[in-house]
Structure 1
Amino acid sequence: MGDFAREAMAPGVVAVPPDVSLAEAAQPRRAQDVGDVLGGDGGRVLGVITDRDVTLRAVADGAAPLTVSAQAVCTRAPVVVGPDAPVATAVSLMRGHAVRRLPVVERGRPAGVVGLGHLAVAKDPTSVPAGISRAAPGGTTGGTRV
């Protein structure tokens, strides 16, 4: 595994303004095949929008995706890590804050995201979590349906 967050992160970031609708925030997620979107304003990370956020804070309440803003469902003021932070620091932050993803921020701007899957791939590319993280969406990993 690399020693620094920059070596374990998924580079590039999907960012949307906080006032866009959930439907608008979902479009770049689909186009770029990513699970997380950062809500930002002027390059600053204001929040993280995960599938879980959308499910628990919008869908479960029956909210309409065209009328609910990304800001309304995002996890605000997320814990972030710098690209030169040791991977151990990222892991410690994820454990301490019970999060699965950390935005990587360089000079106040988002540079990428470190997630549990990225760490699994970096540590042991042959592990089950690494295989799941690399799998194509829709369950095309060749597994057995239960």
Structure 2
Amino acid sequence: MTTAKDIMHPGAHWITKSDTLQHAAKLMRELDVGALPVGDESNRERLSGIITDRDIVLKCVAQGLDPSECRAADIIEGTPRWIDADADIQDVLHEMESHRIRRLPVIENKRMVGMISEADLARNLPDDQVAEFAGHIYASAGSRR
């Protein structure tokens, strides 16, 4: 059985809710990632949300706001989704497809141990499963534009 831990990108660099979007964007560039987990101030490893490069553009820059003034807390929304490290790959796909998310934190013993992205799925799944996943994720994307 292939598990979430088998295909995830291990480790994650966190930011806090008080970090600026400019800091987040610089960190994304340095780490060559498109998303960062956001933690609470009191417990940095308590997942409060995820911020993506797209979030920064659409919820800050496109609104005419200053990324050096906006905080991660200003743009994270909803309940963060995650998956247990021992979850089967089918559970990973179901979680990502049903919530139409492209990145999924992996949790083990109440700690985030990695992240699964579309690229991780593409590297580890047969082409037909990747195509089916993409169909679920992107099928409704046009209706949101």
Question: For 1:18 and 1:53, how far apart are their aligned partners in 2?
Answer: 14
Corresponding residue number in structure 1 for 2:29: 30
Give structure 1 regions of 4+ aligned residues with deviation exceeding 2 angstroms. 74-77
Corresponding residue number in structure 1 for 2:46: 44
Choose from 108, 115, 130 the match for 1:106: 108
Corresponding residue number in structure 2 for 1:77: 79
Per-residue deviation, residues 85-137 of structure 1 (Å, max 9, x unmatched) = 01110100111111111111122221111112211111148xx99xxxxxxxx
| Number of aligned positions between the proteins | 126
More helix by share: 2
Give the letter aligned to residue 4 of structure 2: A
Corresponding residue number in structure 2 for 1:61: 63
Give the letter aligned to residue 102 of structure 2: R
Corresponding residue number in structure 1 for 2:124: 122
- 8 A contact 2:25–2:53 mirrored in 1: no
Corresponding residue number in structure 2 for 1:86: 88
Matched residue SS, 2:26? helix
Per-residue deviation, residues 9-33 of structure 1 (Å, max 9, x unmatched) = 1111021011011011222212211
What TM-score do you get using the length of structure 1 for normalisation? 0.79
Matched residue SS, 1:71? helix
What TM-score do you get using the length of structure 2 for normalisation? 0.80
Question: For 2:116 and 2:124, how far apart are their aligned partners in 1?
Answer: 11
Unaligned runs of 5+ in 1: 130-146
Give the CA RMSD over aligned residues: 1.9
Matched residue SS, 1:47? strand
- State, as a whole percentage, how many aligned pairs show the same letter: 33
Alignment of 1:129-144 (within 5 A): none
Question: For 2:22 and 2:14, how far apart are their aligned partners in 1?
Answer: 14
Question: For 1:115 and 1:78, how far apart are their aligned partners in 2?
Answer: 15
